[in-house]
Amino acid sequence: MTRSFGRRTVLTAAAGAVAAIGIGAAPARPAAPAAPAKAANAAETAYAKLLADVHADYVNGRVVEHNGWILSQHEFDTIASRQQALKAASAAG
């Protein structure tokens, strides 16, 4: 009892196999970025802005001597707020 497969059967089976392989191999959708990733991006953006401000101060000659250090005007203006942030971070962690 030999039974031959018809063309339609072979094509249907092949299409089903391709669909099954395609579904299994499809990459999973990336999950929405978590809050820490957004916070990290915000921190990176803030740091890049700080560097740009400091660079502009040095290029334009806006520098200040403070405790033996040469600081940009922006660094000098933000010393107190940065020290408070460091104290708060060390107290929290």
Q: How many residues does the chain have?
A: 93
Instruction: Look at residue 1 and tell me if it is in a domain.
Output: no
Instruction: Look at residue 47 and tell me if it is in a domain.
Output: yes
**Tokens 């669909």 belong to which residue?**
19
HSE-up (13 A, CA, CB side) for residue 18: 6
- Find, among 78, 21, 8, the residue nearest to 47 by Cα: 78
Q: What pLDDT score was predicted for residue 41?
A: 87
Helix (H, G, I), strand (E, B) or coil at 69: strand
pLDDT tens-place values along the chain, 93 residues long: 456 656 677 667 766 666 666 555 555 566 665 567 777 788 899 889 888 888 888 888 888 887 888 888 888 888 888 889 889 988 886
Q: What pLDDT score was predicted for residue 1?
A: 47
Full residue range of the structural domain in which residue 57 is found? 7-92
Domain count for the chain: 1
Instruction: Look at residue 54 and tell me if it is in a domain.
Output: yes
Q: Is 72 exposed, middle or buried (0-12, 13-18, 19+ CB in 10 A)?
A: buried
Instruction: Look at residue 2 and tell me if it is in a domain.
Output: no
CB 64 within 8 A of CB 71: yes
